[in-house]
Amino acid sequence: MKVSQQGVQLIKESEGLRLQAYRCPAGKWTIGYGHTKKARAGMVITADKAEQLLQEDIRDIEGTLNNSGLILTQNQFDAFADFIFNFGAPKFLSSTFYRYAKASSSDPRIPAELRRWVHSTDDNGNTAVQPGLVKRREREIALYLKK
């Protein structure tokens, strides 16, 4: 399965486009549409490069989801792709909602578990609720539950 155009749009809306590297609330250097792997201080890219990096990140996410053992609808796949884009595959694969989805992708506890993922931790170990993450989880949940 692949991330649909709707899923790509969700990621783009959630991340926003920044052509100059910046530190995200978690303190990671980020550029383009939330790309962190190659981002560094002072880096500047074009919109085309941002799109290329996004597609690379999405391919990695598709691999994670396609090898996860989950049986998902397209909407569920896209919602989880957005989550993985935000928090990464290791956190996704160790999450309680992943275990619930592995047993049944329609488990009614999944939305409540997703809602727990709204905190970020800075370089000093301080944790805070991020309003942007609250909104992002709600968009993911709405898509996940959409028939």
- Tokens encoding 106: 């329609």
Cα 15 from Cα 86, distance rounded (Å)? 8
C-alpha pair distances (Å), 80 with each of 42, 54, 61, 102, 144:
31, 16, 9, 13, 8
* Direct distance between the N- and C-terminal alpha carbons of the chain, in angstroms, rounded to an integer: 17
Instruction: Give me the active site residues, please.
Output: 15, 24
